Structure 1
């Protein structure tokens, strides 16, 4: 299952909308605009640390419990999501640039997208952790087979697949055509990709 499908089917979009006080359509558009850069960040982590290192990092941040935190009835504690973003993007400047870029693509305010980014980071981390462990993502909604390596290869390895079903947007954002939009956004922020 592609992550964009998972976000809709699991109720994650509804949970983000609830936490942020926006409509589900706005939450969906925001997630669609932010997801390519976020998945690009996870791809960079897998390239530098390897799949095993990325798997350890996912567990360090709380693993699949992050999904439960966002999908539960309580308000989401975004501190854990900000920790994920710090590791994946390396700098708050990159997170701000990602939100500004997503704002220009989605028509949503960059302030809203900055608030959405840590929640989405928690959802993606939890989803990848459950994929790594071969668990059902939420209430029987499975992430798919092949483990974390297969999923990263499928979602992140091919051009146009970077966004997990949002390939058209990903290709628009991917200025140098390398299949990863994060390096292009980091260049906009004046940061050198790792």
Structure 2
């Protein structure tokens, strides 16, 4: 199950909550998420591929409690959740300009005003981290690395990254490098 499916199928119905918050229908919010999630997962990929990145991500997932946004729909639109999402975006993208460009591009593709999308993006970032947290726990991954052995410091081996990278591989070809290059190409246009 991919991140979008995890979000859309969550029992807390955060998509409906976001739709109500912005006066949109759930289908439109789903379409927006389809545009946002590849950029967010590419940001995660970039961070995970850095030295110590996987352990850092898993630690953040375990400490962040982001799954609450999937389980309690009212929480995703609260100021604390928005701040949490902005922190996630800052970590993933490093620059607010990337978020602005993503909102502008998504606006062109969905017809939703970019000012709404800029407000929605932090919420989707929180949901994405919640979905990623649920999926990593389902795969037996914890903040210390893989269950039953952990990751020893330093760079992660590709085999230890396998389950997580499978979640993040946008085109399913087993390589995240081409997905990162595709993202970079879209931002440089």
Alignment TM-score, normalising by the size of structure 2: 0.73
1:45 aligns with 2:47: yes
Decide which of 165, 179, 185 is 1:153's aligned counterpart: 165
> Would the aligned equivalents of 2:77 and 2:123 in 1 still touch at CA under 8 Å?
no
1:66 Cα shift? 4.1
Q: What does 1:36-185 correspond to in 2, within 5 Å?
A: 36-48=38-50, 49-68=52-71, 71-72=73-74, 75-77=77-79, 78-134=82-138, 145=139, 147=141, 149-157=161-169, 160-161=171-172, 178-180=178-180, 181-185=182-186
1:109 Cα shift? 2.0
Query: SS where residue 96 of structure 1 aligns?
Result: helix
> Would the aligned equivalents of 1:156 and 1:179 in 2 still touch at CA under 8 Å?
no
1:122 Cα shift? 0.3
Question: In 2, distance between residues paired with 1:119 and 1:12?
Answer: 9
Structure having the higher Rg: 2
> Would the aligned equivalents of 2:45 and 2:165 in 1 still touch at CA under 8 Å?
no
Residues 1:185 and 1:82: Cα distance change in structure 2 (over 3 Å): farther
Question: In 1, distance between residues paired with 2:111 and 2:4?
Answer: 19
Question: In 1, distance between residues paired with 2:125 and 2:17?
Answer: 14
Question: In 2, distance between residues paired with 1:178 and 1:105?
Answer: 23
Aligned length: 162
Query: SS where residue 179 of structure 2 aligns?
Result: coil
Alignment TM-score, normalising by the size of structure 1: 0.71
Name stretches of at least 5 consecutive residues in structure 1 with no aligned partner.
135-144, 163-176, 189-194
1:46 Cα shift? 0.8
1:187 aligns with 2:188: yes
Cα deviation digits, residues 20-53 of structure 1 (max 9, x gap):
2211121111111111111111111111143212
Instruction: Tell me which residue corresponds to 1:169.
Output: none
Q: CA RMSD, aligned part only? A: 2.6
- The structure 1 segments of at least 4 consecutive aligned residues displaced by more than 6 Å after TM superposition are none
Question: In 2, distance between residues paired with 1:26 and 1:151?
Answer: 30
